[in-house]
Structure 1
Amino acid sequence: MKIEVSEKALRWFQEEVGLENGDKVRFFTQIYGTSPIREGYGLAFTIDSDSKEAAAHTVSDGITFFVNETDVWFFDDYNLYVDYDEAKDEVEYRYIKP
């Protein structure tokens, strides 16, 4: 599994969430959500300082974005692309088959 974060999404995290160099963002599954790859489940994020159990990660401008081993099942061999939706003014998740 691979994680990519667009420049626009990175700026959103920095400006709206206040993230800076050294911060860590964990993407995790939540029940009763929506996604195009898992019925009844969605993806959310939290600020998390512990990325020891990361199954996948990427670093952009000193910020680590990761998914723990316990949540990798959700992706079902998809890669995660995090982008920014200007119309909604929020991040959006795209799931891409390699």
Structure 2
Amino acid sequence: MRIIVDSTVARWYIDEMELQPGDQLHIFVRLGGCGSVVPGMSLGIMKEKSSAPRIQVVSEGIEFYMLQDQLWYLENKDLYLQFDSQGDGVGFKVA
């Protein structure tokens, strides 16, 4: 399992959330939304520091991470942060 974040997507988050190098973004499982993996659940993202066990990737100086206890959502697949097909921002794809 990996998190893959293109540098263009990382820069989008930097601009939209006014992030600074070293900031951390927590990707978490939430109830509701239209996720493609588990019906009735989806992924969210928020700026939050953590040193708990996790998978992570750093792109453009920003750490994107998921906590160990929520990795079940990925079903041993990779998580891609990419621009959505509508061009309305960034979406999550598990593959």
**TM-score relative to the length of structure 2:** 0.90
1:14 aligns with 2:22: no
Task: Letter of the 1:17 partner, please give it.
Answer: M
| Offset, 1:86 | 7.0
| Offset, 1:36 | 1.3
| Offset, 1:6 | 1.2
Report if the CA contact (8 A) 2:29-2:44 is conserved: yes
Report if the CA contact (8 A) 1:29-1:43 is conserved: yes
Structure 2 unaligned segments of length 5 or more: list them.
none
**After superposition, what is the alpha-carbon deviation per residue over 1:4-34, rounded to whole angstroms, capped at 9, x for unaligned?**
1112211110111111201000000001222
What is the count of residue pairs matched by the alignment? Answer: 95
| Offset, 1:35 | 1.2
Task: Letter of the 1:94 partner, please give it.
Answer: K
Task: Letter of the 2:88 partner, please give it.
Answer: D
Alignment-derived partner of residue 41 in structure 1: 41
Instruction: Identify if the C-alpha distance between structure 1 residues 86 and 74 changes in structure 2 by more than 3 Å, giving closer, same or farther.
Output: closer
**TM-score relative to the length of structure 1:** 0.88
Report if the CA contact (8 A) 1:6-1:84 is conserved: no
Structure 1 unaligned segments of length 5 or more: list them.
none
Instruction: Identify if the C-alpha distance between structure 1 residues 83 and 53 changes in structure 2 by more than 3 Å, giving closer, same or farther.
Output: same
Task: Letter of the 1:47 partner, please give it.
Answer: K
CA RMSD across the alignment = 1.4
Q: How does 1:4-83 map to 2 (within 5 A)?
A: 4-50=4-50, 52-83=51-82
Further displaced range: 54-63 or 40-49? 54-63
Instruction: Identify if the C-alpha distance between structure 1 residues 76 and 29 changes in structure 2 by more than 3 Å, giving closer, same or farther.
Output: same
Q: Secondary structure of the equivalent of 1:37?
A: coil
Q: Percent identity?
A: 25
